[in-house]
Structure 1
């Protein structure tokens, strides 16, 4: 039976920590599996550290990762995933808006054969103007841009197979794009409707300004999933477009000079030709630098631009016939 690791980033949730434990403990006990709960303190300043220390002393299955400073939710999520030891990793918020009773359903979905299951807060209990409306617009844009069908990319409640989570590289504010990053690596994903509760204690850490961060992160994700392995496809295409524009502008310039005898001093088409040639060269150079950077990236990190689901018959030692008899050759 698969063991579980519950990963919860914590930032100034002193009132919610004991209530979170009280909500998680009976659910996990009823599942009758080995489990651990990793609470990652992201530099809290409200007394959360003391509450986490109490829980760690009370229950050895509570593991605490304490940051030296506030590094953000993505860093806290990455630390939790990196320190988790379970077969299935569950991520959730520490504000009790995610419901722990959804965990068994999501684990069952994973054991049906999925690699990642992410929640959909269909009946979201948040304010409409500054939370629900921006979220709907962002989810629509993300789905159209990446080609990944999703209704709620921002839901923290997820279940992930350990081997898939280990492949994730989370930086900046990329935690909300975990399903897309996993899907890009070939993970089989499913979205399920989950319960959602209004925040009762503490203050929300998000505002409408987060929408702009999501848009910037979306550009990064789009580049990663489509052009990371071969940047020349992007920059080379832009270079070809610039070169084509330069050719058209140059042909028009020559025609104006030869046919009409127009003075080319300061002619806009001549300037456009020169500018397009220069820009095109720069795009090709960026593409070559990007290709070199990609090769260095994969070599230094000792990773491959592919993900293997299964290997079959590799545990069987095979004896291959020699190409020639070594004794005769001697």
Structure 2
């Protein structure tokens, strides 16, 4: 049956935090009178988290644990939770208790009261992480992602977010795309706001993030920028780059052909190899763009996937 709020929490090696997490989510949502569920997706933990979740769920019908067969990553764990969520509003947060479940009611009330907002992203304005190795890379990543995706947020890494259900139904997470949910939601037509939320220091367990995460973010950013700008027109990406190589390469070969007609030897010139390589690479890129155009049409037409999304028109104002 449909319910009001679904809280989705990916869990990995967080056994020491689970009991308090479940209790605090209950304390935050039970007084509101909303029907709710807590979906904890265990991402292949080996510390006994699945057994503890099953034990906690035995006395709490609103707790729905999910155990993945192995460690797939945070994006897959979130997607597994989204596919099982039944709520009109969907909230995500981390399982380490650094996000405060007490902030959830305010986010839901904002969605209920403001029809012009589809997604609320938390902003850890007073971040409590002690390690500079987490703060500075995060700040740089936030600015880089905001600039590249044109979705201006202070804190892309905050897991505490709230969505209308229809936005979640339009996006699909895989790989490491959980970092770019606001960008994916914007591409799906979501109107996004950012609000400050509380942030607490980690008291139990160990952080799963390291400095290598920054380099993965840069690689994923290349993917998401291509996805946002050229998903429905791959020929503009590959074909444009192909023309930049094909046109100069053709001019080089034309110049060398003219020299050959004038009787000059061009066989040993490095410029000949440069021209041939540029022409071949340009043709290959244009062909790749054409192939991408065919695939995107198969993607949309073969599976009847929509190329666009709509939203309800605002109610007309009544004249006094």
Q: Please state which band the TM-score falls in when normalised by the shorter chain.
A: over 0.9
TM-score (norm 2): 0.92
1:115 aligns to 2:118 (yes or no) = yes
Correspondence 1:228 to 2:231: yes
Could you tell me how far apart the structure 1 residues matched to 2:135 and 2:274 are?
Answer: 46
1:219 corresponds to: 222
Q: What corresponds to 1:90 in structure 2? A: 91
Are the structure 2 counterparts of residues 182 and 203 from structure 1 closer, same or farther at C-alpha, using a change threshold of 3 Å?
same
Mapped partners of 2:244, 2:238: distance in 1: 10
CA separation in 2, counterparts of 1:62 and 1:302? Answer: 35
Contact 2:122 2:160 in 1 (8 A): yes
Displacement of 1:71 after TM fit?
A: 1.1
Match of 1:188 in 2: 191
- Structure 1, residues 30-76: CA drift from partner, whole Å, max 9, x if none? 22111111111111111111210121111100111111111111111
Does the CA-based 8 Å contact 1:252-1:269 persist in structure 2? no
Query: 4+ residue stretches of structure 1 with deviation over 3 A?
Result: 254-259
- Quote the Cα distance in structure 1 between the aligned partners of 2:304 and 2:15: 40
1:249 is aligned to 252
Task: Tell me if structure 2 keeps the 8 A contact 1:43–1:71.
Answer: yes
2:170 aligned counterpart, secondary structure: coil
CA distance in 2, matches of 1:7, 1:67: 14
1:145 aligns with 2:148: yes
Check the 8 A contact 1:86/1:162 in 2, yes or no: yes
CA distance, structure 2, for counterparts of residue 252 and residue 281 of structure 1: 19
TM-score with structure 1 setting the length = 0.90
Whether the 8 Å CA contact 2:230–2:237 is kept in 1: the answer is yes
Superposed displacement of residue 263, structure 1: 2.5
Contact 2:120 2:163 in 1 (8 A): yes
Cα drift, residue 2 of structure 1:
7.4
Structure 1 equivalent of residue 278 of structure 2: 276
In structure 2, C-alpha distance between the alignment counterparts of 1:128 and 1:61, rounded to whole Å: 36
CA distance in 2, matches of 1:195, 1:38: 22
Which secondary structure state, in structure 2, belongs to the residue aligned with residue 294 of structure 1? helix
Q: Would you say the 8 A contact 1:91–1:159 is kept in 2?
A: yes
The match for 2:318 is none
- The 1:180/1:242 distance shift into structure 2, 3 A limit, reads same
C-alpha displacement of 1:311: 7.4
> Which residue matches 1:99?
100
Aligned-pair distance for 1:302?
A: 2.8
Question: How many residues are treated as equivalent by the alignment?
Answer: 311
The answer to whether the 8 A contact 2:3-2:86 is kept is no
